[in-house]
Amino acid sequence: MKIASWNVNSLNVRMPHLEQWLRAAQPDIAALQETKLADEKFPDAALAALGYRSVFCGQKTYNGVAILARDRAIESVQYGIPGFEDEQKRVLAATVGGVRVVNLYVVNGQDVGTEKYAYKLRWLEAVRGWLQAELQAHPKMVVLGDFNIAPDDRDVHDPALWNDGHILTSSAEREALRQLQALGLHDAYRLHNADGGVFSWWDYRQAAFRRNLGLRIDLTLVSDALRGEAAETGIDREPRTWERPSDHAPAWVRLAG
């Protein structure tokens, strides 16, 4: 089972890219972030024509998440974080083929010390509380998405720039991610790759992709019960080379079970 995550940065713009990528990569499950579409505009019929069932939770212009599954039913769908009031559409969970898939579009946080930064930390704490209970009910779990946090200095092109005072790399954000992983979630990429310099996001400015000035902020986390099944992982850079690309590349994990 190949499970992938991709921040498409507007499905309305990137739908041709998504169709091309689904045909080429053939993930069994795909979690999308930043669809930026109200639910009535979601292209579920077009995706069904490609063989993918879909569930989605979106809003006009901002945010939005979706889970696509090929030749498998999507069951027990959860929209949002239970008990956490939030108008932003950032969380979607479902069970597919016996695996609980949790799709997160983590808050960006704007800048360290701002109200949006404080909201990000509150949001992550709410996610942690929810997933702690969710893992008890669903031991086979993959938590994936755009985390808007680079786990450590190997995951940034310049640690001197991306430091404790910078959004996406501050110590409080990284600690929140570590606390999430302490529930029994493992960075699938790091199970197979120890080296740095491999990224999933590059700014549109300063020729960042060509110069590989990026960050690895799109993660696939596997639970204890799936750790031994995470046979292969990677980041698919090719869609970032296409015309009018998303600023993110798909991250994926293949489960051997």
Residues belonging to the active site: 105, 146
pLDDT, mean over the chain: 97
Specify the long-range contacts of residues 235-242, CB closer than 8 Å, at least 24 apart.
235/189, 235/198, 235/199, 235/200, 236/4, 236/21, 236/25, 238/24, 239/6, 239/17, 239/20, 239/21, 240/202, 240/209, 241/209, 242/17, 242/20
Q: Report residue 24 CA to chain centroid gap.
A: 20
Domain 2-255, what architecture? 4-Layer Sandwich (3.60)
pLDDT-based confidence at residue 257 (cuts at 50, 70, 90): confident
What is the DSSP-derived secondary structure letter of residue 248? B
Q: Could you report the per-residue pLDDT of 243-255, keeping only the tens digit for each? A: 999 999 999 999 9
* Spans of all domains in the chain: 2-255
CA 248 to chain centre: 10
pLDDT at residue 113, as a whole number: 96
Closest C-alpha among 158, 161, 216, 225 to residue 190: 216
pLDDT at 222: 98
Please tell me the pTM assigned to this model.
0.98
Segment 107-159, tens digit of pLDDT? 999 999 999 999 999 999 999 999 999 999 999 999 999 999 999 999 999 99
